[in-house]
């Protein structure tokens, strides 16, 4: 009986230690949000950032847009009504301000949203003006701006005919972050590793087919921070031949100690 009690206690301690070491977080509500991939292409794409007040406190918002290199393009302040939302089209203001600091009107970047009190939720919508490209229309939730130590892309495709992109954003505002992108087969075999350095407030797009030098496969990818820093991300996949596009947030893992 004593042996059984000791064994049971050992299991409890092991489980507790594991929980304390690593916690998986799926929250996409907070006081800081990140739109990991924002496209500015005024002639071809209509974009919307939707932001909602979750707590009913009517917070003030700071909305900031950066290009891929983390260069500030534009910032604006808004106020949410209690339990209200705003449907924010960044291109309206980017055009008015000449795309901020002479930025080319066609660029890819990120949107950062900060609340001065109360939690908010957000979404990013992308609609193509050409109806023949309507299959590319997409919506994806904003990510928690606190970021994570590791991201999990549960499914990726490496294929010349598929436009697959693993999007990784640096949530740090003042320093770059280094990541290892590890590609595994469906059977768990390590196929390739790519190291990337992401600028503060920046974002990178990683094409598995290019990273794996033309290997045709499906698998799972893990994006791990090397040293200090936090990241968040998404997986985008499109195929013109089959006329579809999907976009999914990546699962994040945060180490407690």
Per DSSP, the residues of 28-87 read -EESEEEEEEEEE-TTTEEEEEEEEESSSS--EEEEEEEETT--EEEEEEEEPPTT-EEE
> What confidence tens digit (pLDDT) does each residue in 155-213 have?
999 999 999 999 999 999 999 999 999 999 999 999 999 999 999 999 999 999 999 99
pLDDT band at 106 (very low <50, low <70, confident <90, very high): confident
**29-144: what fold?**
Hypothetical Protein Tm1070; Chain: A (2.60.290)
Same fold, 29-144 and 147-255: yes
Q: Answer yes or no: is pLDDT of 92 > 60.
A: yes
**Average per-residue pLDDT in the chain?**
88
Please spell the DSSP secondary structure of 153-198, one letter per residue.
EEEEEE-TTSEEEEEEEE--SSS-EEEEEEEEETTS-EEEEEEEEE
Residue ranges covered by each domain of the chain: 29-144, 147-255
Q: Answer yes or no: is pLDDT of 20 > 70.
A: no
Average pLDDT over residues 11-39: 63
User: Model pTM?
Assistant: 0.86
As its CATH architecture, domain 147-255 has Sandwich (2.60)
Sign of CA dihedral 238, 250, 103, 125: positive
Q: Which residues, other chains included, contact 216 with Cβ-Cβ below 8 Å and sequence gap of 6+? A: 158, 159, 160, 209
Percent of the chain at pLDDT exceeding 70 = 85
């Amino acid at each position: 009986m004593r042996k059984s009690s000791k064994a049971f206690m050992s299991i409890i301690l092991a489980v507790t230690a594991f929980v304390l070491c690593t916690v998986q977080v799926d929250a996409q509500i907070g006081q800081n949000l990140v739109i990991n991939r924002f496209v500015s292409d005024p002639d071809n794409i209509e974009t919307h950032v939707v932001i909602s007040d979750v707590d009913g406190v009517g917070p003030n918002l700071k909305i900031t847009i950066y290009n891929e290199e983390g260069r500030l393009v534009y910032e604006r302040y808004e106020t949410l009504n209690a339990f209200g939302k705003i449907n924010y089209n960044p291109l309206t203001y980017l055009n008015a301000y000449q795309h901020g600091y002479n930025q080319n009107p066609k660029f890819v970047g990120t949107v950062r949203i900060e609340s001065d009190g109360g939690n908010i939720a957000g979404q990013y919508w992308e609609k193509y003006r050409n109806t023949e490209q309507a299959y590319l229309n997409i919506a994806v939730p904003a990510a928690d701006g606190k970021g994570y130590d590791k991201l999990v892309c549960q499914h990726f495709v490496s294929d010349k005919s598929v436009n697959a992109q693993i999007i990784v954003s640096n949530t740090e505002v003042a320093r770059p972050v280094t990541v290892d992108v590890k590609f595994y087969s469906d059977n768990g075999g390590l196929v390739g590793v790519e190291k990337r350095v992401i600028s503060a407030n920046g974002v990178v797009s990683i094409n598995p087919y290019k990273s794996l030098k033309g290997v045709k496969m499906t698998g799972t990818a893990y994006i791990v921070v090397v040293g200090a820093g936090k990241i968040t991300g998404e997986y985008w996949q499109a195929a013109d031949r089959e006329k579809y596009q999907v976009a999914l947030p990546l699962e994040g893992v945060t180490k407690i100690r």
